[in-house]
Structure 1
Amino acid sequence: MSFDLKISLLPETAATLSPLHKKLNKLIEQIEQQKLDLALWQNAKSEIQSYIQLKLVPIYRNLHAVYFRQLNQLWQHLQQEDFAKADLAQLDAKLAKLAKQLKKSNYLNSAELEKIAEVDAFYQQHHAHNQKPNKKGKSAQAEQSKVEGHVDIEQETVEEHESYEEWDSEQYQRQKEEHQRKRLAQKREQSEKLVNQSLKTVYLKITAMIHPDREPDETKKAEKTELLQVVNQAHEAKDLFYLLKLQLQLETNKGKSPKALTDEHSKFYQMALEAQSQRLASQIDDITDSFHWSEQPKPKNMQVKDVYKVIDGDVSVLKEQVKWEKERLKYMEKVKGLEVLLGNGVL
C-alpha cells in the first residue's frame, strides 16, 4: 500500500484539527510504528530461532538430562533408605520440584517422562492427602493449646506444612497466570470482533464513495478503479488500519474542514484504531514471548537486539548451573554424599 495518508502531516489542516481528531492522528502514528515493529520481528524470527537452537537448546537438553538423573537417584534412595523426618522433608520438596520442572520437558525420552509422571503423581496425591488433615490438625491444636495455656500454638503445624509451602505458592501462581491468560484471551477476542465489524463497515463506506461506475469522468474513473482494486486487496488482507486511514483521508478531502467529521465518526475511528493497535500489540507480544526464555521479567519495549543479549546471558548462567548440578549429582549417587547435602541444606 503506497498511498500516503498521514493527514497529521498536512500543515494547512493541523491547526484546525479538533482534540479528538488529533488523538486519532496519534493513534495512526502509533499503529504505523507497531506495523514497522511487527515486520521487524517477523523478519528476525527465523534468525533468532536458529540462534536459540544453536546456543540454548543444547544446554537445556544437557541440564534436563542431569535433572532427570538427580530425580531418579533421589527416588531410588527414598525407596531403599531410611531418613530422618527433616531429611525426608528436604527430599520430598526436591523431588516434587524436579518432577514439576521436567514433566513438560521436550528433551527427554518417553521412558524418562513416564518416570517423571510417576513421581509427580505421587507428590500430587501426597499433597492432596495431607492438605485437609493438616488444616483440621491446626484447628484442633489451636483449641487444645487454648485449653492447656500453651503460648506456641503453631509450632507443630508449621513443621507439618514446611514441605508444602512452596507447593501452595506455586499452585497459587499457576492459578494467577491462568486467570491472566483467560483475561488476555477475552480481550483479544473482543478486539478481534470489533476489528471484523469495523472492517466491513469501513469497506462498504469506502466503496460507496469511490465506486467507478458512479464517475462520469473517464480519467477519474480509471483512478477510482485502480484505488478500488487496492481497497479490495486491503479488505482481503483484513488491513483495517489502511482502510480507516483511507476513509479518513477521503472524508477530509471532500473540500471540507476536518472539523466536518462528526463526533460519532471520530469515536468510531478511535474504537476501531484502538482495536487494531491491540491486535498488533498482541501479535508482537506473541513473537517476543516465544523468544523470552529467561526467568527474568521480559524487558519493557523489547527490541530484537535485547533478545540476543538475553540469550547470551542465559547461556552463561546455564553453563554454570549445569556445572554445579553435575557436581551435586556426584554427591547424590552415594548415601553418604546425599547426607552431606542434606546436612548442609544444599540439596
Structure 2
Amino acid sequence: MKVHNIGIIMNGVTGRMGTNQHLLRSIAEIIKQGGIKVSSGEIIMPDPILVGRDIHKLEKLSQLSGVKKMTTNVDEALADPHNIIYFDSQTTGRRAEGVRKAVKAGKHVYCEKPIAIDTKTALELYELCKAAGLKNGVVQDKLWLPGIMKLKRLIQNGFFGEILSVRGEFGYWVFEGHSIPAQRPSWNYRKEDDGGIIVDMLCHWRYVLDHVFGKVKAVSCLGATHIPERIDEQGKAYKCTADDAAYATFELEGGVIAHFNSSWAVRVRRDDLLTLQVDGTKGSAVAGLRECYTQHYGNTPKPVWNPDIEQPIKFFEGWSKVPEQEVFENAFKVQWELFLRHVVKDEPFPWDLREGAKGVQLAEKGIESWEKRCWLDVPEL
C-alpha cells in the first residue's frame, strides 16, 4: 500500500470554525477513516500540526482531536519540509501575512474566507501562489451542503424551467451578552477588527450564486448595525462598530434576480438558519442546510386575495420533500478531500484564491453600494 503522508500546518485552528469544522469534523475524521483512498493500493493520509498563539488551548485541542503535534511558532512549522500545505483559519486581518509567509516557504495554500480584507490584497495572494507554482484554494463549504446539492440536482434536471429569482434568508439572534452569553466572538461586531456581516456573508453568497445560479453582475446593498452595544469575552461592554445585518439584491447573468437578507439580529421562523427559495416558470423549491422541498407547476394552488375570510389554502401542504438520493458528508470534509487529492494527484480544484478574491470583491462592492446608496456593477476579476 502506497501512503502519501501529507504534513498540514493548521494555523488558527483553536478558533470556533477551525476547531469544529476543519479539525474535528474534517482532518481528524479523514485520519479516523484511514485516509483518502485514491485507488486500491494508494491512500492520502493527513499529518497535521496544530498552530496557535495559546499553548494551553493547543494542548486541550490536541487531547480532543488526537493530533499530537503542535506549536506556537508558525515559522518553525513552515521551516519543516515535511509540511507541504499551509491552512489558515485565523481572523481575517492576520491571513495575508500568514499566506505570504507560506508562499515564501514553498507551501501549497488552503484558507478560510474572506481570504483578505480587500480585493487588491486577495488578488495579490492569488498571484503570489500562481507565480510560485503553488496549488491554492479557498473554503467554499456551502456548495456541498445537502440542501444546496439537492437544488443543483433539480437545476441539472430542468425542474425549474426558466429560473426567475432566488431569495435567501440567513441568520439568527446572537445574544448581546448582558444576561445570556453571546454565541459569536466579539470581533465580529467591530469594524476595526475586520468584523461585519457584509464582509462575512457576501463572500458566501458570491460563490453560491456564481456556481449554482449564475455569475453576479451587479449589487445593491443596505447594511445596518441594529444592536449598538454588546458584551465581550471578558464581560466588558463594547460599542458595535460593524454591521450586524445586510439586505442585498443581486442581478445575475441571464436575468435572474437574487435577494439575500443576512442578520445576526433576527429570530428564526423558517425551516433552517439558511433557506433559499428558487422560483421558476415550471416549479419552485425551498432548501435549507440539509432538506429541500419542491412545488411543481401542476401542484401550484391558485390563491385569491380576500382578507375578510380565513385563508382556505394550507400553503405548506402543497410542497413535497426531496428524498435522500445520495449520501452527504460534512461539507468542509468533502472539500478538504478534494483539495488533498488536488495537491497529491493534481486532480481539478476550481475553487482557488482567485475565487476567494471574487467573494472579497462582492463584499467591498456591497459596502460601497451601502455608502453611496446606489447599484454597482461587479466587473470580472
TM-score (norm 1): 0.25
Which structure has the higher relative contact order (CA within 8 Å, separation 6+)? 1
TM-score (norm 2): 0.23
Greater fraction of residues in strand: 2
Greater fraction of residues in helix: 1
